[in-house]
Amino acid sequence: MIPLARPLIGARERAAVLDVLDSGQLAQGPRVATFEHAFATLCGVQHAVAVSSGTAALHTALAALGIGPGDEVVTTPFTFVATANAILMQGATPRFADIEPETFTLDPAAVEQAITARTKAILAVDLFGHPYLRELDELAQRHGIPLIEDACQAVGAHRDGVPAGALGTLAAFSFYATKNMTTGEGGMLTTSDEQLADRARRFRHHGQSARYTYESMGYNYRMTDLQAALGLVQLEQLSAWNEQRRTNARALTAALSGLPGIVLPREREGARHVYHQYTIRVTAGQAIRDAIQRYLAEHGVTTAVFYPRPLHLQPHFVSLGYQEGAFPEAERAAQEVLSLPVHPALTPDDLHTITSVFRQAMEECA
């Protein structure tokens, strides 16, 4: 079975983790500091604050901006639930805006419509590894509101030469096991604003400004040195892995282009997509898409639907009052998308299997 993701853990990762175990310094320590420096350099920002997950990074970003009850944050309904939950964690209200169908990221025109007097931030997701659209930067500036980048799927991406992590006011990354680089669980917040970075560091450590001085609300969102040691070794390989993802994506596109009934992923001019997922559309809709997915599974190819139901139609978000039909592009995407394996551990044989089985699946099911 060809998996959809596979964490790449080698001898150097093992040695780095064993070193930490032998050092006696297991919690946040010098390796976290080194990892933060290296990550800030990757993103071209002044500050990186390591935390325990991507969700913690998003929550910390919203808290650092002082977003709370009564505030609204405009975001996408076509994302992982953590994006919107981070807004709820601060007692604020998510306001959804529809997506742009080619990149699956927020549609700037829809965001503009969703902005109200209560809007305190835009939370844009670099979905599947494609940076959010540049018109959002101009929009955020014009409205004088910060833009938080959910870059959990986009480590190493950039747009117009600016790395993910530096596109907005603050950004959040995830190092969950299936992401483009991993620390098992883990996350990072990036910003070039010193005051926001200070607030983020306090927030991850019980709101402490100095030892046993509690300045403000906080959590235990710290990363361990074990995770940071793993992250440092992963970071060195990230650019080669992302290049391999891009090469694999090109191979999939070359082998599938011209096939009727599907739409292949595209990269916007100026954008560097890092293909956390290689996500196609099956335009005949959900029943055919699901049949193709079953056929692929029966023939050794794992795929996934990210995401089968947009957030505004989930039970958890019913109280926000959105109805079916509110975000037609997000709803259509949920019925059409299918992510094929693109990870750097795929062999040329795997890629050939994926595309030839996919062609058979289209003939059998479509």
Ligand X SMILES: *Cc1c(COP(=O)(O)O)cnc(C)c1O
Residues that bind ligand X (CB under 6 A): 53-55, 79-80, 82-83, 125, 150, 152-153, 174, 176, 187
CB of 153 to ligand X, least distance (A): 5
Pick the closest to residue 338 from 300, 256, 283 (CA basis).
283
d(CA 281, CA 334): 9
d(CA 35, CA 6): 22
CB of 82 to ligand X, least distance (A): 4
Q: For residue 339, how many other CB atoms are within 10 A of its CB?
A: 21
Q: Which residues contact 57 (CB under 8 A, 6 or more apart)?
A: 49, 51, 152, 172, 173, 174, 187, 188, 189
Residue placing its CB nearer to ligand X in the complex, 61 or 362:
61
Query: In the chain, what are the helix, strand and coil shares in percent, each to the nearest 5?
Result: 45, 15, 40
CB of 85 to ligand X, least distance (A): 9
Residue placing its CB nearer to ligand X in the complex, 153 or 242:
153
d(CA 334, CA 314): 12
- The residue number whose beta carbon is nearest to ligand X equals 54
Residue placing its CB nearer to ligand X in the complex, 54 or 341:
54
Note whether 253 and 314 are within 8 A (CB): no
CB of 309 to ligand X, least distance (A): 15
d(CA 243, CA 105): 22
CB of 54 to ligand X, least distance (A): 2
Residue placing its CB nearer to ligand X in the complex, 130 or 246:
130
Strand partners, 119: 72
CB of 177 to ligand X, least distance (A): 9
CB of 246 to ligand X, least distance (A): 19
Residue placing its CB nearer to ligand X in the complex, 84 or 292:
84
Three-class DSSP category at 33? helix
Residue placing its CB nearer to ligand X in the complex, 153 or 191:
153
Residue placing its CB nearer to ligand X in the complex, 180 or 191:
180
CB of 236 to ligand X, least distance (A): 21
Residue placing its CB nearer to ligand X in the complex, 28 or 55:
55
Q: CA quadruple 283, 287, 293, 299: dihedral positive or negative?
A: negative
State yes or no: cis peptide before 278, omega within 30 of 0. Answer: no
CB of 268 to ligand X, least distance (A): 18
Cα distances (angstroms) measured from residue 345 to each of 2, 32, 245, 250, 301: 10, 27, 9, 15, 14
Strand partners, 42: none
CB of 212 to ligand X, least distance (A): 29
Residue placing its CB nearer to ligand X in the complex, 153 or 303:
153
Q: Which residues contact 253 (CB under 8 A, 6 or more apart)?
A: 264, 265
Q: Which residues contact 15 (CB under 8 A, 6 or more apart)?
A: none
Note whether 141 and 169 are within 8 A (CB): no
Residue placing its CB nearer to ligand X in the complex, 164 or 301:
164
